[in-house]
Amino acid sequence: MKSLVVHELLGRTVSLFGEKEIVSGTRRLTYRDFHERTCRLASSLKRLGIKKGTVVGVLDANTHRYLELHYALSMVGAVIHTLNFRLPGEDLVYTMVHAGDEWICLSDLFIQSVSPVVSRFKNWIIMSDDETLKIQGAEQCLSHEDLVRDGEFLDGQEKIEENDIYSIFYTTGTTGRPKGIRYRHRDILLGSLQLCHHLALHQTGGRIESSDVLMPLIPFFHIHGWGTVFFGPYMGSKMVLPGRATPSEQVELMKREGVTWLNMVPTQLHMLLEIEDFGNVKIVTGGSALPTGLARRALSRGVRYSLIYGGSDQLGASISVAPEGMTLGTEYSEVWELLRTRMRPIPMVDISIRDEGGNQLPHDGKTIGEIWVSSPWLPEGYYNDPERSREAYPPKHPGWFKTGDLGSFSPDGWLSVADRQKDAVKSGGEWIMTTVLEAILSEHPKVSIAAVIPVPDERWGERPLAIIKPRETVSETELRSFMEEKVLEGRIARFWIPDRFVLVEDIPITSAGKLNKELLRRSYR
């Protein structure tokens, strides 16, 4: 690679790993095939007038066509806008307008869902095996496969610089409108490849090797599948793209294709563990805390894990690894508890614990404050959103991002994330960490999913409320007694025990697969 430009990855991949496969639905492509299709697609996109700076929205699941667009749009210098199909319709359209999408590449899976807004966007490209498929009412509607077939096989299209904007994507918008984040080519590659290097360097449950078969379950709209779009080809790994496969279909894919490494949020892991023959793989999970009960279940089924911490506004910041001198066993033990709760910053990331005034707090492993992050790929702020940019990327502290998470940092470099600042309970002036309570409740054999939220209290300011989706019938008395046992074991203080336990049939999740605490707070306020 001459520079940190996304599509330059493919030259190395084709020369060293040209016959490795990308599996997507019924399609099997070698990296050599993939490279040719990508070049032909880029040629056609250029002919359509898509050029440096053109913003192109892509609405698709994890498929080979989506992967092709990541590299073809890089070749012409366009900005890929990875559209979040889990956003409410109004928020999705807001992101398309706010980003300035000039073209929309749309999977046939989502044609019906965009019908109300077809007239608002002029140019559409349909991603489907059916090349005759059209969008009713669209001014211009082309076929992805036609563009691939009719393009010229030209390797290298435009002069692209590593400081050019490569992509834009949006936060999930659980508190207000989604916020846009733009990344340059160098930023997205540095952040993604350092994540890969961290996983390859250390002893950890999600350790990655070039021989691994990767199946990204994190959607490409979320930080490009946590960087797998880039480090999969970088390593020359066989990639299995699941599209809109159900959990059962994902397990069948894993067995058929020999998948050994996946990424997913804890809710996805929970769904997969409901399928009996799922196991013997490595995973990287994050986006929310990994409850103790879920971690134990995963390990008992042969699933080894690492926890990743980061987000759209900062990319990856840290990943859990085993301390030196400790080995990974096959049963839940101290080392697996550390992999569930403590993380090392990935290379080139700095972490600081600060108070509300931005002053650094002691890095003693005990003092809790807000986690601040700095890295070479950190954005300068949110796109066209100066007010919220100043809040999260404070001008008085250039190069730092205020995460809104509470945690501690040890003198020897271990990060422990306690809770989201807005999710933690401030009871009588003392913090109660909802993630700790959720982890303990998850250990109860009759609990499937637990969510704990703060609710107003006249005496204490706030108190914790536990919302439980049971695995089988369980009473509030049983749950309270269980928590009392944890007090006697010294795991929590008695005042941490929730005042109420509410049993529900289901718990809502966000578009990123996390527990939707914002909706729960509104519902139980």
Interval 424-468: pLDDT, tens: 898 887 789 898 899 999 999 999 999 999 999 888 889 999 999
- Say what the pLDDT of residue 129 is: 93
Buried b (16+ CB within 10 A) or exposed e, 379-407: bebbbebeeebeebbeeeeeebbbbbbbb
pLDDT for position 420: 84
Give dist(CA 336, CA 342) in Å, integer. Answer: 10
104-163 per-position pLDDT tens digit? 999 999 998 888 889 899 999 999 999 889 888 889 999 999 999 999 987 655 789 999
pLDDT at 283 over 90: yes
Instruction: State both tokens at 208.
Output: 């990655």
Which two structure tokens, joined as six digits, stand for 394?
């404070």
| In the chain, where the domains are located | 6-183, 186-420, 425-524
pLDDT mean across residues, the chain: 93
Q: Which of 523, 522, 520 is nearest to 449 (CA)?
A: 520
Q: Which residue from 125, 126, 123, 127 is spatially nearest to 139, judged by alpha carbons?
A: 123
Confidence of residue 279 (pLDDT cuts 50, 70, 90): confident
What is the second-level CATH architecture of the domain 186-420? 3-Layer(aba) Sandwich (3.40)
Sequence-separated (6 or more) residues with CB below 8 Å from residue 30: 18, 19, 20, 21, 22
Write the single-letter amino acid at 20: K
In terms of Cα–Cα distance, which of 327, 278, 321 is closest to 301?
278
* Half-sphere CA count of 343, side-chain side, radius 13 A: 35
Mean pLDDT, to the nearest integer, of 26-46? 97
- Name which of 134, 154, 121 is nearest 47 in CA terms: 154
DSSP state of 163: T
Helix-strand-coil split of the chain, %, nearest 5: 35, 25, 40
6-183 and 186-420 have identical folds: yes
CA atoms within 13 A on the CB side of 231: 31
CATH number belonging to the domain at 425-524, selected among 3.30.590.20, 3.30.565.10, 3.40.605.10, 3.30.300.30: 3.30.300.30
Residue 513 pLDDT exceeds 90: no
375-432: pLDDT as tens digits: 999 999 999 999 999 999 999 999 999 999 999 999 999 999 988 888 889 888 778 9
CATH superfamily of 6-183: ANL, N-terminal domain (3.40.50.12780)
Residue 288 has pLDDT above 90, yes or no: no
Tokens, residue 95? 């992101």
pLDDT at 472 over 90: yes
- pLDDT digit string, tens, across residues 319-371: 999 999 899 999 999 999 999 999 999 999 999 999 999 999 999 999 999 99
Q: Helix or strand or coil: residue 523?
A: helix
Q: 87: pLDDT confidence band, cut at 50, 70 and 90?
A: confident
